């Protein structure tokens, strides 16, 4: 029995199949500007300890500070500076994991720093080199950036820092490897200190 050949499919001149398509109306959808945390991991992997120190110094310089303290404790990294407290724009920059500009359809726009060295909103994220959470408090408010869960849209009250100058940051050390980011142990602490010392040594 002779097999009948199939009728050719209709196509438009560009060669694609001619199909009906009721395209989604973006004005009626709950679209979110999401991305995986590999974006943050790749950013952090491009930084070393000296880069993290430079970012901290730049932030403190932008805040008009005269002192930056970095202390490697037993189980966490502690950082403090005596510059200005975080302003409304700074808290807004901490409400996203990376970058500046429009945040999807949230109605929020993250502005760059004005007259600052660090303007791309990357600086403090380099601290993910050391741990999965970055706790920040300043001027009576606080927030946290979490490598897995993200960050707060708005800071929460923190009364203990209300009358204190500057900023305080705590990063509990990472204890196991995650997404290509190494745990921070004694060997990595020694490496960080050597890198800091080399970066601070006059040429």
Q: Looking at the domain assignment, is residue 41 inside a domain?
A: yes
CA nearest 80: which of 63, 98, 97, 99? 63
> Does some domain include residue 84?
yes
pTM for the whole structure: 0.78
Give the CATH number for residue 118: 3.30.565
pLDDT per position as a tens digit, 21-76: 888 888 887 777 667 888 888 888 888 888 898 889 988 998 999 999 999 999 99
CB atoms within 10 A of CB 152: 14
* Structural domain contains residue 26: no
Residue 14 in any domain: the answer is no
- The predicted pLDDT at position 96 comes to 85
Domain with 79, as residue range(s), is 37-198
In this predicted structure, what is the pLDDT of residue 169? 96
99 occurs within a structural domain:
yes
pLDDT mean over 100-105 = 66
Q: What is the pLDDT of residues 109-119, one digit of tens each?
A: 676 665 544 43
Q: How many independent structural domains does the chain possess?
A: 1
pLDDT in tens, 113-172: 655 444 344 678 999 999 999 999 999 999 999 999 999 989 999 999 999 999 999 999
- Asked if residue 13 is part of any domain, the answer here is no
* Residue pair 98/121 in contact by the 8 Å Cβ criterion: yes
Q: Strands 109-110 and 133-138, how do they pair?
A: unpaired
22 lies in some domain: no
Output the pLDDT for position 167. Answer: 95
Q: Is residue 154 part of a domain?
A: yes
């Amino acid at each position: 029995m002779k097999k009948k050949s199939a009728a050719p499919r209709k196509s438009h001149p560009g060669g694609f199949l001619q199909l009906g398509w009721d395209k989604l109306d973006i004005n009626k959808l709950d679209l979110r500007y999401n991305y995986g945390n590999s974006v943050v991991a790749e950013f952090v992997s491009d930084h070393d300890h000296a880069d993290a120190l430079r970012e901290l110094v730049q932030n403190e310089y932008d805040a008009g500070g005269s002192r930056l303290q970095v202390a490697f404790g037993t189980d966490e990294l502690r950082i403090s500076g005596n510059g200005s407290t975080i302003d409304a724009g700074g808290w807004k920059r901490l409400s996203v994991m990376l970058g500046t500009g429009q945040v999807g359809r949230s109605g929020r726009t993250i502005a760059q720093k004005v007259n600052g060295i660090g303007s791309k909103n990357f600086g403090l994220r380099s601290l993910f080199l050391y741990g999965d959470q970055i706790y920040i408090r300043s001027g009576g408010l606080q927030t946290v950036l979490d490598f897995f869960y993200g960050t707060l849209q708005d800071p929460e009250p923190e009364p203990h820092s209300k009358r204190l100058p500057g900023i305080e940051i705590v990063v509990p050390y990472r204890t196991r490897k995650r997404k290509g980011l190494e745990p921070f142990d004694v060997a990595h602490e020694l490496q960080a200190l050597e890198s800091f010392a080399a970066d601070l040594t006059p040429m």
